[in-house]
Structure 1
Amino acid sequence: MAAGTDATAFPWPPGVATGVGSLPGDDPAEAMRIVIGELPDFPHLVELPAAGVGADMIGRGAAHLAELHVEYAPSGWRFTQRPGGDERRARALLRRDLDVLEEFTQGFRGPLKIQCAGPWTLAATIELRYGDKALADSGAVRDIADALAEGIAEVTRDVSRRVPGARLVVQLDEPLLPAVRAGTVPTASGFAMLPAIDEQVVRERLGVVLTRIADTDAVPVVHCCAAGVPIDTLVAAGARAIGLDVTLLAPADDDSLGAAVEKGVRFFFGIVPSTEADDLPTVAESAAPLRRLWNRLGFPAEELARHVVTPACGLAGASVAWVRRAYRRCVDVGRSILEAPEGW
């Protein structure tokens, strides 16, 4: 079911900005200090891939899989029969980062975002014990969705206990979802492509996880910073908000995006480069692609402030200085939308 249009269903204030999740470095306290300092109205849990195996996107996602076990092999993550050191490390890193999140959000009241890889990106990446990627096995995909739904619900409840004043937003990162739908995910050997997955199956498996998130009273979000985001599928699966890179949208996406907005779905609009450029665009330059999009859609200018401004994607490949500048630019753009909508 699509989200309703009641603005009270969304915990973030108008004209707000947040981050996608990943940041450079391996010190969670330093990363959270930046997040709280630059994004005080809508902070997020940090992800630090530079911390090594288990801190990467897939390892962090696998740490949420209830009753499924993984290990890190030369070819990447794969399922195994019993827990081992790699899995224990991934789960320990998640607990460590949650401890730091709790430390820095004492007394916080407002929207707080956590995130992990979604079921389709995990299925397109993690290999079965003997064979291809889990995406090739419909039963394995079902197990991943069920395990992720239970695991992320438990993490969400844990964060609610740790930060009782927070209104939680749970983001599933699905960068490989367009490839799953298009049939361009390579096999484990790399010599062929796995078949495209039917839209109904994509919707159903994703819906299992999104519904479970909603059952915890958190807002379920799906983020995809690749081109070709299947907006209609995400809305039908139960995403209450969708994160994407505005610069990758094409006019062909307008109908789906406009229909989603009319159904009350919110967007996390990625507008600031996630990797360093010679010069950070000005507020007006950063906002220009979003302004053009909103003008094409024809919605009232003041309604744009209901949505969220973010970097285009995760910032793990940037410097700390760029992270600070990117977050500040997102905040400035959000504020400009709120304070002077007609100037758009």
Structure 2
Amino acid sequence: MSPDVTAAPAPATVTATGPVLVAGTDLPGALTAIRGELGDPHLPSLPLLPDRGPGADAVGRVTALLVDLPVEVGPHGWRVAARPGEDLRRSRSLLASDLNMLADLAGAEQTPATRIGVCVLGPVSLATRLDLAGGERVLADRGARRDLADSLAAGLATHLAAVRAALPGASVTVRIDEPALAAVTAGTVATASGYRTLRAVDRSDVRQTLRQLVEAVRDAGAHEVVLAVEPEPLPLALGREVEADGLALPATALTSAPDDLGEYLDGGGALTIGLDVDGPRGVREVSDLAGQVLAPWRRLGLPETRLTQLTLTARTSPAAITSTRAPAGTPDAGRLPAVLHRLVGTADALETTARDA
């Protein structure tokens, strides 16, 4: 049963949210920028700053959530361990510190935001980045995959309780990133040795795993659950099957969107659109950013009134999400206000287009 929470309804307007990754090590600066630029109705978020070292990256952050599944940093990345050690303690300490910082900043605001977004690496992709004690990927062992999914579902429920305690009254949107989903179902994930590939995971297993996590997140009090994937074609059916509230995808995916995208939107499905924010002279202008959405939108013949089901963010490539360092071009705390300001301006421009339609 879901906890007794009063969640703010999703705004019927085009909104903006912060990027998944921020370069550098200045989390206070990043949070200040995000919360300063993304007031209501927009979605402020808790970003990842992987440049701070192991535990601050997407894989390290999610390992801090696992229940009864200790991990450690091995020669080739994170791996299952016999018992909790220093690596896991560092990851959990970093997560707790980040939440405390978020709570302190929010507590000092005169008008705290009523929404917060958190991102987590999903169990399917995590299984490609976490090794068993014997050295092979967790993905190679069906039982280990199931244990990992159960552990993450339990840990994420605890994490959401901590987020809600840090921001009392705020509704929580959870973004589940699955950058390796297409490779997992296609059987192109390399083994730990790199000399061969692992057997493809059946799509029904993937659906069951993701549906389990979506249900656990919603039962833990999340108001919205967004699934971030980049396979072709657009995975509208998967989003519906796992009962996610929305999908996150790059703006470029709109150019090859299937015919049933309009039906997906008519059914209330939401889209988080990743925009290419960097241009030759810095952050792109609002007209350029809006065009990344409007041009394919109009070619597809989609009603402009449906633009209100969009949330805009800066695109993060699938490879970047699981990187241990922020890739070149990732905005740091100093550049973040300019990026967010343009995203908010673009959301306003698209909102005006929707109202005038």
* Secondary structure of 1:127 counterpart: coil
Equivalence for 1:39: 38
For the pair 1:125 / 2:129, whether they are aligned, the reply is yes
* TM superposition shift of 1:338: 1.1
Contact 1:108–1:165, Cα closer than 8 Å, also in 2:
no
Q: Which moved more, 1:143-152 or 1:9-18?
A: 9-18
Contact 1:254–1:297, Cα closer than 8 Å, also in 2:
no
- Matched residues, number: 335
* Secondary structure of 2:259 counterpart: helix
Equivalence for 1:188: 192
Q: 1:164 to 1:13 in 2, by over 3 A?
A: farther
Please show how residues 1-344 of structure 1 align to structure 2 within 5 Å. Answer: 10-12=9-11, 14-41=13-40, 42-106=43-107, 108-218=112-222, 219-224=224-229, 230-251=235-256, 253-273=257-277, 277-313=280-316, 316-317=326-327, 318-320=330-332, 321-341=334-354
CA distance in 1, matches of 2:104, 2:231: 33
CA distance in 2, matches of 1:148, 1:100: 24
Contact 2:116–2:170, Cα closer than 8 Å, also in 1:
yes
Contact 2:265–2:306, Cα closer than 8 Å, also in 1:
no
* TM superposition shift of 1:289: 2.6
* TM superposition shift of 1:151: 0.6
* TM superposition shift of 1:298: 2.9
| Cα distance per residue 1:234-288 (max 9 Å; x no partner) | 321121111111124442x323533432321101011133x67434322121122
The structure 1 segments of at least 4 consecutive aligned residues displaced by more than 6 Å after TM superposition are: none
List runs of 5+ in structure 1 lacking aligned partners.
1-7
* Secondary structure of 1:239 counterpart: coil
* TM superposition shift of 1:114: 1.0
List runs of 5+ in structure 2 lacking aligned partners.
1-6, 321-325
The amino acid of 1:38's aligned partner reads E
Q: 1:61 to 1:229 in 2, by over 3 A?
A: farther
Q: 1:319 to 1:337 in 2, by over 3 A?
A: closer
| Cα distance per residue 1:73-107 (max 9 Å; x no partner) | 12011111210111111111111111111112225
Identity %: 33
Q: 1:180 to 1:9 in 2, by over 3 A?
A: farther
The amino acid of 1:327's aligned partner reads L
Contact 1:178–1:228, Cα closer than 8 Å, also in 2:
no
CA distance in 1, matches of 2:151, 2:11: 29
Contact 2:60–2:78, Cα closer than 8 Å, also in 1:
yes
CA distance in 1, matches of 2:175, 2:13: 19
CA distance in 1, matches of 2:339, 2:250: 14
* TM superposition shift of 1:109: 4.0
Contact 1:39–1:331, Cα closer than 8 Å, also in 2:
yes
| Cα distance per residue 1:133-175 (max 9 Å; x no partner) | 0111111111111111111111111211221120110111111
Contact 2:8–2:115, Cα closer than 8 Å, also in 1:
no
Aligned-pair Cα RMSD in Å: 2.2
Q: 1:163 to 1:283 in 2, by over 3 A?
A: same
The amino acid of 1:71's aligned partner reads E
